[in-house]
Structure 1
């Protein structure tokens, strides 16, 4: 993308988001348009949309801030595309999202700001984002989701539990990676967690979960998980951010359940 198109996208987004309550109104409008014009996608999203709306605005802002840094943006988008495979997302869904987002932006930007040139810039930018995500998803050979059975749930503290699962097939992940989890009592509410044991050929995996006050998922895991529950797990993401073969000594610092992955 050229610098003018990038500037037009950033200017319109920041103008809309900078208004009082602008980011929240934009997210609400986007999902209202998406679910009205493409009702078939509603089942991909949780019933409670508060966290989802917040993540949308943050993801858009992150991507727009890095349009001039493809070496940083494209790997992020590819990883995002790989993660979205767990939802069953197809190419047509990316087009629906792009059209709905442009419609929401057009509504709040107004006719004076939302010119034909601005619309072309947004179309180009959203196409770049979608193609990077689609490319990342199509190049991934690992399963979109893993399934596992809870084989142990141990309460360490009143608000802290250790949960062990037996996966139906082993998962390969590296130290410092995390993955998304969906439990049976909270459908479509995926939450990211870090494994507390190394990947192994037996398909055993363990999580240390602290109940978050007011949370939807962590209190249900800590308080209601029973042996035999079936979980869904997304593909591993992220990393430690350090060279794997370095010979330098490292100091690793963690707090609370964040200590577990350091093992």
Structure 2
């Protein structure tokens, strides 16, 4: 220590610490004992340059978009309320980046509204909708308060000396309005915030796909084509959107199709680790995929890539309840023929549904050697076509007279929608849910 009193006076130094205490002081005990210091204390790597003369809502947006915000905000959240340690996954970065995207949109839209009440109400409605989805987190008013405190301390830290009363007042007002709307949305939503479900069967039709069948503790009333928020034991704190492959039913039976996506936060551990008897948590259904049954019927084009077949199969199964249906032409594609794992079920549906035609598509003619034994695929009305989904679909024309429903990976969605619009399909005819 700097001012060592010397050995003769060591016992008289009331502030002297032992070697054991020095060692403990070097260990990060925050996860066990809570914060001892300001979690945001310490100098920034480099000062952020902001123009405080601009609109305060946009200044706050710029602070949110600073690349250091997610990491520093995560530390502040975990320190201000221990509950947030359990709510967030081990790597909270992706979740917090989504928060930044939503908050930035709200701030920008409010600033651009220039006081227009209808536009401001659109932002508030967005927050209410988000609050309904966040019921699954079971947030209390204290959680909202602590979240706001962590947000304020993080933005003040990033702004440094540029922070002033104007920014503080704007942030306080904006957060109070949005937080109130979030809580209103959670209170207005009906039904349980969470529903438990037990895995009763697991199929692995390919090396990287798991078909998981569950029975929920109580029936979940979702519309065909919607998705559910799902929490599993394989990646704690990670909620994912999964689309049921069968309609809601009184028995609580639900089926999900999950592909192992390289680098995914959940899919790999789920596909490899799911077993019968595991307990999952399911939350509020969302999504807008549907077949327009307005008469006169307009024919339907469905395009599914990989596990994107799940919500479309759910729609088809629901349509079988009706005596009359629009004609449906389904293109079901994958990289290799053997990955068309749900084709037998689709062929069975088509065998009893004269309004349904199934067109298999594969980018490659043969399965790779590492795929294992090849299974004979059922014969369909149409022979399997080679090529990407968008190429095969657009070979048949623009489909401009159809309602088009697309489901698959983000890359597949982008390529298919862009390709169809370029081929002449009206964009307003195409619907899909963003993963």
Q: What per-residue deviation string (whole Å, max 9, x for no partner) do you get for residues 127-175 of structure 1?
A: 1111111001111221011111111111121111111111111101113
Q: What per-residue deviation string (whole Å, max 9, x for no partner) do you get for residues 200-228 of structure 1?
A: 12211111111111223111221121111
Q: Of 128, 131, 140, which aligns to 1:81?
A: 131
- The structure where helix makes up a greater share of residues is 1
- Range that drifts further, 53-62 or 115-124: 53-62
Q: How large is the RMSD of aligned CA atoms in angstroms? A: 2.2
Once the 2 structures are TM-superposed, how far is the Cα of residue 52 of structure 1 from its aligned partner?
2.4
Once the 2 structures are TM-superposed, how far is the Cα of residue 16 of structure 1 from its aligned partner?
5.5
> In the TM superposition, what are the counterparts of 1:82-231 in structure 2 within 5 Å?
82-112=132-162, 114-231=163-280
Give the whole-Å Cα distance in 1 for the aligned partners of 2:127 and 2:302. Answer: 28
Once the 2 structures are TM-superposed, how far is the Cα of residue 196 of structure 1 from its aligned partner?
1.3
> Hey, what does 1:35 align to over in structure 2?
78
Contact 1:146 1:233 in 2 (8 A): yes
> Hey, what does 2:305 align to over in structure 1?
255
Give the whole-Å Cα distance in 2 for the aligned partners of 1:122 and 1:182. Answer: 32
1:9 and 2:57 are equivalent in the alignment: yes
Distance 1:16 1:224, change over 3 A: closer
Contact 1:179 1:235 in 2 (8 A): yes
1:46 and 2:71 are equivalent in the alignment: no
Distance 1:223 1:16, change over 3 A: closer
Secondary structure, in 3 states, of the residue corresponding to 2:303? coil
Give the whole-Å Cα distance in 2 for the aligned partners of 1:122 and 1:243. Answer: 42
Give the whole-Å Cα distance in 1 for the aligned partners of 2:238 and 2:109. Answer: 28
* Corresponding pairs, count: 251
Q: Which has the larger radius of gyration?
A: 2
Give the whole-Å Cα distance in 2 for the aligned partners of 1:116 and 1:202. Answer: 57
Q: What per-residue deviation string (whole Å, max 9, x for no partner) do you get for residues 76-132 of structure 1?
A: 3223212222222101111111121121111112333x2212211111111111111
Give the whole-Å Cα distance in 1 for the aligned partners of 2:102 and 2:149. Answer: 17
1:58 and 2:107 are equivalent in the alignment: no
Secondary structure, in 3 states, of the residue corresponding to 1:253? strand
| TM-score (ref. length: structure 1) | 0.86
Q: Which runs of 5+ in 1 are unaligned?
A: 1-5
- Range that drifts further, 117-126 or 41-50: 41-50
Give the whole-Å Cα distance in 2 for the aligned partners of 1:243 and 1:127. Answer: 39
Q: Which runs of 5+ in 2 are unaligned?
A: 1-53, 114-118, 314-435
Distance 1:29 1:119, change over 3 A: same
Distance 1:89 1:212, change over 3 A: same
